[in-house]
């Protein structure tokens, strides 16, 4: 149960697109289409942004999109806005009722 690997920080100018990677193994990301992404604002509980690799819950901006290739999943934020500044975590199901989170990425709008 090793944590999925994410970059510690990603930054971009307002209006730009940024992508956060999430690298796992064949035991989790590569095998299961059950990668989800969470946004955590300072002092708040995490909020679901993407589930099942590409799906967006109702109420989440379509500026957020997800994808996966092999053992790496990605979250793309298009048209970066100041309110997108937060910590982002990926998570993958790993079989047998087990999950693993990513190491987390701090997104900054320059």
Contacts to another protein by CB under 8 A:
1, 3, 32, 34, 36, 38, 40, 45-48, 51-52, 57, 89, 91, 93, 95-104
For tokens 């790993």, the residue is: 94
Closer to another protein at the Cβ: 24 or 102? 102
Q: Which of 61, 108, 110 is nearest to 88 (CA)?
A: 108
CB of 16 to another protein, least distance (A): 25
> Minimum distance between the CB of residue 67 and another protein, rounded to whole angstroms?
16
Token pair recorded at residue 21: 């990677």
CA atoms of 6 and 4, how far apart (whole Å):
7
CB of 95 to another protein, least distance (A): 8
How many beta carbons lie within 10 A of that of residue 110, not counting itself? 9
């Amino acid at each position: 149960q090793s944590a999925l690997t994410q970059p510690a920080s990603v930054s971009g100018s307002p209006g730009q697109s940024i992508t956060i990677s999430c690298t796992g193994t064949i035991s989790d990301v590569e095998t299961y289409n059950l990668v989800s992404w969470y946004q955590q604002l300072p002092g708040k509980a995490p909020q679901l942004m993407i589930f099942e690799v590409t799906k967006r819950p109702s109420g989440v901006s379509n500026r957020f999109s997800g994808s996966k290739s092999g053992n790496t999943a990605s979250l793309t934020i298009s048209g970066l806005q100041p309110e997108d500044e937060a910590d982002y975590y990926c998570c993958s199901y790993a079989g047998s009722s087990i999950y693993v989170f990513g190491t987390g990425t701090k997104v900054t709008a320059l």
